[in-house]
Amino acid sequence: MRVLVTGYLGYVGPAVVAAFQNAGHHVIGFDNGYFEDCVDPLEPQPVPDGDIRRDVRDVGPGDVTDVDAIVHLAGLSNDPLGELAPALTPDINHAATLRLAALAKAAGCPRFVFASSCSLYGAAADCASPLEETAPLRPVSAYAQSKAACERDLGALADDRFSPVFLRFATAFGASPRMRFDLVLNNLVAWARTTGEIRVLSDGTPWRPLVHIKDMAQAMLRAATAPRDIVHARPFNIGRDDNNLTVADLARLVQNQVPGTHIAITGENGSDPRSYRVDFRRAHRELPDFRPEWTVEMGCEEVDRWIRARELTADDFQSHRFIRLKHLQFLQEQGRVGADLRLCAAPALAGAPR
Ligand SMILES: NC(=O)c1ccc[n+]([C@@H]2O[C@H](COP(=O)([O-])OP(=O)(O)OC[C@H]3O[C@@H](n4cnc5c(N)ncnc54)[C@H](O)[C@@H]3O)[C@@H](O)[C@H]2O)c1
């Protein structure tokens, strides 16, 4: 199978490229390269079989010819990025997704795997019972709203030749060649290991379901290859039921991983309206061979090992290399990203051969 993986130069993308290649598929990567320089020197990322370097807003028909499946990860990938240029978030995350899907459908590509998010459940009024895919959507951010709008409008493109499938991922964790420390598990482990203090900026009560990036990649592989009637225009929550934790519970697990550390629940970010427990049984039941393997404890151990192997400091993990919002702001300050959030062509070096 020939698979186009958009957003392959991000945090999750390398695990997706590896999962498809290991299963024998031909992978074409597509990305504009915002985080190109954020790669880890100790762990180079897998190289796709083809590479398209373009903004997803500029995708053209030639990018989707002879493709059997598209896995669409590219976009502004969290709430803070969605607020950086609020007028552009719908263009990048929604309009460009719809354009990509329409082009894919016109070119005869039968399967479109969309990286959605459990954050579209938003402010779940009652966390007593976990949310199934039929629960009402209450997105509380521009980012989450863009995911909900994509699911709605991709669903309208579904027909007997084109099957979109919506994978609603829990919050990711784990070691990647393009590491992020703006994700709750990775962030708390980094605080613990580099300062001895586990800093929880909320009041610790919000529920956060978590999922390892390799389990996300496995879900995308299964969704791309499953029989059509299982996935056609359907959402699947992706995670493990036992990885539904409150942030305070997670802090205690991190403390077990890094003994001698102190938990500080600062509450400085106020109460967080995003809180949801999620029921992950549909994907386990119905996505053929999907078996998510990574517990939170395994993730804490892996991320801690990653940090120790690189002797990361507190300044390091809070730098733009690992925080998506800071990196886009850094690129803007350097003039490498314009007000339209497009990457500018690199300036020609004086005297360099043309
Ligand atoms: N990380 C999570 O916890 C999580 C949870 C749920 C859903 N998701 C979704 O999974 C996807 C991947 O997440 P991630 O953590 O790897 O994010 P990331 O920010 O690390 O990677 C996103 C990638 O998309 C690319 N991209 C962004 N805008 C682009 C544009 N206009 N044109 C072309 N490429 C563009 C970036 O260069 C980057 O390589 C995102 O769609 C995200 O919303 C992630």
Query: Tens digit of pLDDT for each residue in 61-86?
Result: 999 999 999 999 999 999 888 888 88
Which residues are near ligand 1 (CB < 6 Å)? 7, 9-13, 31-35, 55-57, 73-75, 77, 92, 115, 117, 169, 171-172, 180, 183, 324
Lowest mean pLDDT among 55-64, 168-177, 224-233, 266-275: 266-275
Summarize pLDDT for 120-153 with one digit per residue, the tens: 998 765 667 899 999 999 998 999 999 999 999 9
With a pLDDT cut of 70, the percent of the chain lying above it is 95
Look up residue 213 and give its two tokens: 């990036």
H or E element, residue 334: none
Task: Enumerate residues 6+ apart whose C-beta is below 8 A from 109.
Answer: 64, 67, 68, 69, 70, 162
Ligand 1, atom 21: closest residue by C-alpha? 10
pLDDT at 150: 98
Portion of the chain with pLDDT greater than 90, in percent: 84
C-alpha distances out from residue 151 to 27, 91, 168, 274, Å: 24, 15, 10, 20
Residues 6 or more apart whose CB falls under 8 angstroms from that of 78 comprise 143, 182, 324, 325
Reported confidence tier of residue 269, pLDDT bands at 50, 70, 90: confident
User: What's the whole-number average pLDDT of the chain?
Assistant: 93
Contacts of 104 (CB under 8 A, 6+ apart): 64, 67, 70, 112, 162
Tell me the domains of the chain and their CATH numbers: 2-333 (3.40.50.720)
Helices (H), the chain: 13-22, 79-84, 89, 96-106, 142-157, 184-195, 213-225, 228-231, 247-257, 281-286, 296-309, 314-317, 324-333
The DSSP call for residue 318 is T
CB atoms under 10 Å from CB of 264, counted, come to 15
| Ligand 1, atom 1, residue with closest C-alpha | 172
Cα of 74 to ligand 1 centre, how many Å? 5
For residue 352, pLDDT beyond 60: no
* Mean pLDDT along residues 265-285: 86
Q: What angle do CA 164, 169, 172 make, to 5 degrees?
A: 140
